[in-house]
Amino acid sequence: MDFDKKAADLFLDIPEAPKETGVVANAVQTGKLVFVSGAYPWKEGRLAYKGRLGIELTPDVGRMAANAACVQALGFLSGYLKNSLNKVKRIVSIKVNIAAGSDFKDHQKVADGASLLLNDVFGPLAGKHSRVVVGVNSLPMGAAVEVELIAEVK
């Protein structure tokens, strides 16, 4: 399956990975696993979704934020793999951190925004993954969600 073509067919605007500076990278590899972290819901050069779920944001908005953060994660992954998702064998696992109020209970609905996107791009086999969803009090820059992923590469 051509994952780059599938992303294009879905009209995904996968961003270029930023130039890395300092000692922290958005993507690192060990063996055949690439670990991607620090993906926030950026759109058009700005943080598009700020706030906490259950307080300022609804689960539907959170789901869109998780989708946008996952697109950013795909940008980090694609950039690490020399601008191609076709080197991905499968998505192994994702973690979705959600800034949420103490009474918020719909974390899985928010995280579905990322999981369903990965299934759409990589299909039901290569896109099927394990998932951790965590509610936190706050995230950097006031972001609503943060996505991490682990991909196995060919």
User: pTM for the whole thing?
Assistant: 0.94
What confidence tens digit (pLDDT) does each residue in 105-121 have? Answer: 999 999 999 999 999 99
Residue ranges of domains in the chain: 1-9+26-42+64-131+145-154
What per-residue confidence (pLDDT) applies to 61? 98
What confidence tens digit (pLDDT) does each residue in 77-94 have? Answer: 999 999 999 999 999 999
- Whole-angstrom Cα distance, residue 141 to residue 93? 25
CATH number of the domain located at residue range(s) 1-9+26-42+64-131+145-154 in this protein: 3.30.1330.40
What confidence tens digit (pLDDT) does each residue in 7-32 have? Answer: 999 999 888 877 766 667 899 999 99
Exposed / middle / buried, residue 41 (Cβ in 10 Å: 0-12, 13-18, 19+): buried
From the list 55, 49, 77, the residue with the least C-alpha distance to 145 is 49
